[in-house]
Each structure stands twice: as C-alpha cells, then as structure tokens.
C-alpha cells in the first residue's frame, strides 16, 4: 500500500499481545482501527488509552470461529467508518498435548479459531476491501507454520494451513490484478500471554479441563520462558505495518530462526528424513 493514513484497519485478537501491538501501530500511523476480541472487558481496557489520546478506535466483541460473528464485525466496521482497507486475522490459541491425548473438542476449538478464523475473515472481508483502490490482508501464522514440533498438533496444523491459505490468496490476487495484497506473519518468540490466555479461554468457554501430559507441561514451561524473553508485541505491530506499506508477503520477527527450516529442506533433499527440532 502506498499510504495507510486515514485508512481503516480491522484486527482480530486485538485486546492483547501482537494484536494490540498492531492496533497501536496502525492508530499511531493515522489509521482508523476496529479491534475485535472475544474478551470485551479486556478490549475496552486496552483501547481506553488510545481513545484518550484522540485515536479513532472501536472495539467489537467477536468470536472468529463463528462466521456470523465475523459478518457482524464487518457490519460494525462499515457502520463505524464506511470502509475497510486492511484486515489482520490475528486471533489465535494454542495448547500443548501429544496428538494421542488431544481431544477432538480441542482439535475443533483450535482449528476453529486459528484456521477457520482467517478463512472466515477472508471470505467476509475480501469483497469489501476489493471495493477500495488498494488494500491488504494479513494473517498470523507462526514458525510452527513452517516446521512442526511435538505436543502441539492442532496448532501446527492450523498454522501450516494459514501459510498455505495466504500463499494461495496472494498468488490468486496477483493473477487477477486485484488492488489487494496479502501477507503472512510468522513470528518466533514474542512476549505475550498466549499460553496462559489459551488455557483460561478453553476452560471458560467449554467448562472442562484440557488434555495435559508431562511432555506438554514441560514444553509449555519452556514456551512461557521463551516468550517472556521474546520480542515486544508493539515491535511486531510495526513490523506488520512496514510489511503492509512495502507489500512484503513474508513477515518474520526472528529471520535467523529460519535456519532450522533450511536445515529441514536440506535433509529433505539429501535423505528424506526428519530433522530433530531445536526450538529453544
């Protein structure tokens, strides 16, 4: 996009973490922003300082795993600002359990948010964005969307799906000479509470405990430590803004970690085996 000032952006998962970082970056660049989240109280608290500073931001309670909610989010965006130019499908959850011990409910819950959320977002918002002279759709994947580790099956599957979804969309948009571009965010460690928030959200919404294993707990503890030392979410927001302005498809927070992806590609060519994944 040539400019974002005065344009309208929608960010899902906008109450905290990377989503809030995007909201802040976009608002700081002069955009009008609609932030969506399933936690309305957290959303109101997060947006209050931005409103007090004079930014045009609106919060909409949204469960991205429900198409009707995403359609209502689009209606609320048009009601508030009349246009939409940028969509960031960022809402996401993740839990740690081996595939053998992951329940079907957990598969459906994670895929519903992490993969169907972006699918619904594109289906609903793409026609609206294509009405404009230019636009952009970004979806949040992960390095786990490029290389799958253990004890995170649904998350890995969803994030690989998001990469495929966005790559397909970008190629189709270019072939159609659409004014809309697409990108995928594949972050490494970012200082967010996704692990704790995911567990709390799962229990609150389903009223039941999640599947837990010793291996999952061990990896979860390592993840919490790695995330605490990770990139600031506001930095991620500015990386996404820069990617939108410069029409970059791949957006990485830790490009050096792509060496593990390259290692796997090299081994695929050499002997078709699977590398030992070193995530931490």
Per-residue pLDDT 10s for the chain (280 aa) are: 999 999 999 999 999 999 999 999 999 999 999 999 999 999 999 999 999 999 999 999 999 999 999 999 999 999 999 999 999 999 999 988 999 999 999 999 999 999 999 999 999 999 999 999 999 999 999 999 999 999 999 999 999 999 999 999 999 999 999 999 999 999 999 987 754 554 455 545 555 554 555 555 555 555 555 556 689 999 999 999 999 999 999 999 999 999 999 999 999 999 999 998 765 4
Query: 113, 67 in Cβ contact below 8 A?
Result: no
Q: How far apart are CA 169 and CA 253, in angstroms?
A: 22
- Adjacent-strand bridge partners of 190: 231
The answer as to CATH 3.30.360.10 being correct for domain 8-270 is no
Contacts of 230 (CB under 8 A, 6+ apart): 188, 189, 190, 191, 192, 253
Please state at what angle helix 194-206 crosses helix 214-228, rounded to 10 degrees: 130
> How many Cα atoms are found within 13 Å in the side-chain-facing hemisphere of 136?
26
Give residue limits of the domains in the chain. Answer: 8-270
Q: How far apart are CA 18 and CA 20, in angstroms?
A: 5
């Amino acid at each position: 996009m040539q400019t974002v000032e005065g344009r309208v952006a929608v960010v899902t998962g906008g109450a905290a973490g990377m989503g809030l970082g995007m909201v802040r970056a976009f608002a700081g660049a002069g955009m009008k922003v609609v932030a969506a989240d399933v936690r309305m109280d957290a959303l109101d608290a997060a947006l209050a300082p931005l409103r007090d500073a004079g930014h045009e931001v609106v919060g909409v309670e949204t469960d991205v795993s429900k198409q009707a909610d995403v359609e209502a989010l689009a209606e609320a965006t048009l009601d508030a600002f009349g246009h939409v130019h940028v969509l960031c499908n960022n809402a996401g959850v993740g839990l740690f359990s081996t595939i053998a011990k992951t329940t079907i409910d957990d598969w459906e819950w994670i895929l519903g948010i992490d993969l169907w959320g972006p699918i619904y977002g594109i289906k609903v918002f793409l026609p609206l964005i294509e009405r404009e002279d230019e636009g952009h759709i970004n979806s949040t994947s992960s390095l786990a969307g490029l290389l799958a580790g253990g004890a995170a099956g649904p998350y890995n599957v969803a994030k690989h799906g998001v990469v495929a979804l966005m790559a397909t969309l970008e190629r189709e948009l270019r072939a159609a000479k659409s004014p809309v571009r697409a990108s995928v965010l594949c972050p490494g460690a970012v200082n967010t509470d996704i692990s704790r928030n995911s567990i709390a959200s799962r229990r609150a919404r389903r009223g039941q405990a999640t599947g837990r294993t010793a291996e999952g707990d061990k990896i979860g503890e390592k993840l919490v430590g790695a995330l605490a030392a990770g990139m600031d979410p506001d930095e991620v927001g500015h990386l996404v803004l820069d990617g939108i302005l410069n029409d970059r498809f791949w957006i990485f927070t830790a490009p050096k970690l792509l060496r593990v992806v390259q290692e796997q590609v090299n081994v695929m060519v050499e002997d078709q085996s699977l590398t030992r994944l070193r995530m931490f």
